[in-house]
Amino acid sequence: MRYNLLDGHQIRLIEGGQAYFEALVLAMDEARSQVHLETYIFDFHGAAETVAQALERAALRGVRVWLVVDGVGTPSLPEAWRERFDKAGVQCQIYSPLGTLGLLIPSRWRRLHRKLCVVDGHLAFCGGINILDDWYDPHHGTLAEPRLDFAVCAQGALVQQVQETMTQLWWRIEGVKHVRQQHFPEAFSSFRAAGLHLPWTSDKFPGGASHIVAKAGLLLRDNVLHRRQIERAYRKAIGNARHEVVIASAYFLPGRRLRQALIHAARRGVRVRLLLQGRYEYFMQYHAARPVYGVLLAAGVEIYEYEASYLHAKVAVVDPDNDRPWATVGSSNLDPLSLLLAREANVVVADKAFAQQLHRCLCKAMDTQSTPVVAEQYTQRPWGQRLRDRIAFGLMRLALLLSGNRY
């Protein structure tokens, strides 16, 4: 299924969780009718708590507040905050709770990984940033530097698409809950409500923030109508590249077609640069990526490993200085979990000023906070590391086989 880029969107690039939380809180505090928020992780440490407080304030003054979190990323809310949300009127759903067998059931590998928010039906946020303090990691504690990530704030036609997809998911979760409780009339009403189309109305950009007027569109990845939309958009943009491709992906394990697109671009003279995770975070994601480095380096693709902190960005820029620039910011990594299993959302922007702004951020990260991967050093890495890389790569392929997907 193709996606449409429409003119007239007001777009603002947001770098980092601190700026993202400030924009969310400002928008929520100005909300008059509704706030809908989806996130993979909702953590309540540090600056992330300001978002929880803004949701609470909005609900207390009568705004309809819907919150959806993922059952793996956020298996439960802290009891104190659950009580505060209930008292204020914040409605919260957990997407696909794991249950007794947890991730032993392959169908439960399909997670809600997108990070979306809509305020009053006219303002949308989309990106890769969880509700998680930039300076804190649940597994590693306090960080020396903030993680690198991006989001966009947008007004325009794509806001209605975001509103609709969030509303549909909410009512589907409600419907499933009623079916499990054998409340069949309520379940039927919920599924009918899933087709609800809410109006979009224009308004001023919040807080008078600077923005770019651009052509933009929404990309979705789900298991029904949009199974390959994000991957195909990446492949098409790379295939159309004439001068430069820059991609930042926290978890990187591209399938054969996407690898070939990168290789072909490099071989026809396009400068292809990848900004990838340089710090150990998770065994599978860290080690499974490395076996594909060799073929990419051999084709002339440049690889940089981000080492200042944890890389969490999922963004790309193609030909930012040309007449047909392409940029995307979203939640989708270039790995099988994102591209084949998870619910993801990206915004695509076709605008030179926006593409150049994102390009400058990525170039700075590559030039000053990353280490280039040298082909000779890659081939001479210790045998123990190569063994771990191969084990992780094999386990990832086995997981895909068990899930019934080809990559």
Q: What is the pLDDT of residues 148-180, one digit of tens each?
A: 999 999 999 999 999 999 999 999 998 776 555
pLDDT at 184: 47
2 in a domain, yes or no? Answer: no
Same domain, 243 and 293: yes
Residue 228 lies in a domain: yes
CA distances from 91 to 21, 37, 83, 191 (A): 20, 11, 11, 18
Q: Tell me, what's the pLDDT at 199?
A: 44
List 8's β-bridge partners, or say none. none
Residue 134 sits in the same domain as residue 236: no
Query: What is the pLDDT at residue 108?
Result: 82
Which letter does DSSP use for residue 388 in this model? H
Rounded CA-CA distance 23/41 in Å is 18
How confident is the model at residue 107, as a pLDDT? 78
Q: Is residue 3 part of a domain?
A: no
- Paired sense of beta strands 212-221 and 344-350, if any: antiparallel
pLDDT value at 203 more than 70 = no
Same domain, 317 and 356: yes
* Position 284 pLDDT exceeds 90: no
pLDDT given at position 105: 80
Residue 301 has pLDDT above 70, yes or no: yes
Domain boundary among 208, 230, 245: 208
Q: Does residue 199 sit in the same domain as residue 223?
A: no
Is there a domain that residue 243 lies in? yes
Q: CB under 8 Å to 332, separation ≥6 — which residues?
A: 113, 219, 221, 230, 314, 338, 339, 342, 344, 345, 346
Q: How confident is the model at residue 407 (pLDDT cuts 50, 70, 90)?
A: low
- 230 assigned to some structural domain: yes
Query: Does residue 206 surpass a pLDDT of 90?
Result: no
How many domains are there within the chain? 2
The whole-number pLDDT of residue 84 equals: 98
Question: Of the candidates 330, 342, 376, 329, which has an alpha carbon nearest to the alpha carbon of residue 110?
Answer: 342
pLDDT for the residue 204: 53
Strands (E) across 50-178 are located at 64-70, 91-95, 115-119, 123-127, 136-137, 141-142, 150-155
Q: Are residues 122 and 164 in the same domain?
A: yes
Regarding whether 392 and 286 lie in a shared domain, the answer is yes
pLDDT(290) > 60? yes
Residue 297 belongs to what H/E stretch? helix 293-298
Residue 68: name the closest of 92, 87, 46, 86 by CA: 92
Q: How confident is the model at residue 192 (pLDDT cuts 50, 70, 90)?
A: very low
The pLDDT value given to residue 225: 81
In this structure, the answer to whether residues 322 and 196 fall within a common structural domain is: no
Q: Rounded CA gap, 94 and 68, in Å?
A: 6
Q: Are residues 256 and 117 in the same domain?
A: no
The stretch 235-243 carries a mean pLDDT of 97
Residue 54, domain extent:
9-208
In a domain, 340, yes or no: yes
Question: What integer pLDDT is reported at residue 405 of this predicted model?
Answer: 74
The CATH number that applies at residue 16 is 3.30.870.10
Q: 250 and 105: one domain?
A: no
Is residue 191 predicted with pLDDT exceeding 80? no
In a domain, 189, yes or no: yes
* Mean of all residue pLDDT scores within the chain: 91
Examine the pLDDT at 88 and tell me if it is beyond 50. Answer: yes
Instruction: Please report the pLDDT score of residue 94 as a whole number.
Output: 96
Q: Which of 130-134, 184-188, 260-264 has the lowest mean pLDDT?
A: 184-188
Tell me the C-alpha distance between 302 and 108, whole Å.
35
pLDDT grade for 201, boundaries at 50, 70 and 90:
very low
What is the C-alpha separation between 183 and 359, in angstroms, rounded? 51
Backbone angles phi, psi at 396, to 5 degrees: -65, -45
Range name among 46-50, 94-98, 171-175, 272-276 with the lowest pLDDT average: 171-175
Residue 194 has what pLDDT?
A: 44
Domain boundary among 208, 237, 259: 208
Q: Yes or no: say if 262 and 301 are a contact pair by the CB < 8 Å rule.
A: yes
Name the percent of the chain lying above pLDDT 90: 77
Taking residues 88-93, report their average pLDDT.
98
Residue 364 parent element (H or E)? helix 352-368
Active site residues: 113, 115, 120, 312, 314, 319
Cβ–Cβ under 8 Å, residues 270 and 241: yes
Same domain for 199 and 236: no
Is the pLDDT at 140 greater than 80, yes or no? yes
Which of 190 and 98 is assigned the larger pLDDT?
98
- Please give the average per-residue pLDDT across 322-344, as a whole number: 94
Q: Are 58 and 37 in contact (CB under 8 A)?
A: no
pLDDT of 367 higher than 90: yes
Asked if residue 102 and residue 20 are part of one domain, the reply reads yes
**Which structure tokens are listed for 109?**
């590998």
- pLDDT at residue number 399: 81
172 and 306, same domain (yes or no) = no
Paired tokens of 53: 């407080």
- Boundary of a domain, candidates 184, 208, 232: 208
Q: Is residue 136 part of a domain?
A: yes
State the pLDDT confidence band at 304, using cuts at 50, 70 and 90.
very high
* For residues 294-300, average pLDDT: 97
